[in-house]
Structure 1
Amino acid sequence: MMGGRSWDDWIEEYQKAHEHPVNRLTHTFGIPMIAVAIILLPVGFFVNHVWLAAAILFVLGWILQFVGHYYEGKPPEFMRDYRFLLVGLRWWLKKTFG
């Protein structure tokens, strides 16, 4: 539950803004790239060149996201409500692991 709404409600709304197959495909790869980059970034302070890999993953992940939204013809949901940044990850987890 987030913001008084169930995760299923959030994910259902998220899916309505991500119906184009290209958008779904780009999000399938872009979301985990961004998530891994965020996890790796702090490691980059201690291990050489990890920060560079994290930065590249982060940028490429976001490029994929915006390419998908170009095909969808709709702006990203997080521009309307920042909480959709978390919903996107939850959508990917549900899609990938059930």
Structure 2
Amino acid sequence: MTEPLATAPAPVADPLRRRPLRRVLRNWLQRHQHPFNFWIHLLGIPLAVAGVVLLCFQLWLWGSAAFVLGYLLQYLGHRVEGNDVGEWAAIKRLLGLPYVSISPRWQVPPKITGR
């Protein structure tokens, strides 16, 4: 007689297998499509993080300046892009207020099916 075929293992609901970092990166890239916004974020994010690190070492003047400047650069990038800053968009969403996640200029219009 022939042996029964091995059954496939049941799908695992492991969140690590869903590749959450890729999803986060894809969402981040959708919100930063304008070249100025993209590159200014590559400067502003490390500057803001460095500001937080400097605050931990009690260099409050340098830390505060770096954090504010880094966040200001990101804000300017989002103004050019035409969407809300990520933190403010999340707060607005929680409060039920209208927000712009992805700038309308980058959104793909829905396809109109013709007859």
State yes or no: 1:36 paired with 2:47: no
Distance 2:79 2:53 in 1: 27
Q: Does residue 1:18 correspond to 2:27, yes or no?
A: no
Question: Following TM superposition, by how much is the alpha carbon of 1:5 offset from its aligned partner in structure 2, in angstroms?
Answer: 6.2
Q: How many residues align?
A: 76
Q: Deviations over 1:58-91 (max 9, x none)?
A: 0100110000001100112233337xxxxxxxxx
Does residue 1:7 correspond to 2:21, yes or no? yes
Measured in 1, the distance between the counterparts of 2:23 and 2:90 equals: 14
2:65 maps to which residue? 56
Aligned to 1:70: 79
1:6 deviates by: 0.7
How big is the shift at 1:27?
A: 0.3
Amino acid at match of 1:70: R
Gaps of 5+ in 1: 45-49, 83-98
Partner of 1:47: none
Report if aligned partners of 1:33, 1:57 keep a CA contact under 8 Å in 2: yes
- Cα RMSD between the aligned structures? 2.1
Compute the TM-score of the two structures, normalised by the length of structure 2: 0.60
| 1:81/1:7 CA distance change after superposition, 3 Å | farther
Runs of at least 4 residues off by over 6 Å: none
- In structure 2, the residue matched to 1:81 is 90
Higher relative contact order (CA 8 A, sep 6+): 1
Please tell me the residue identity of whatever aligns with 2:31: A
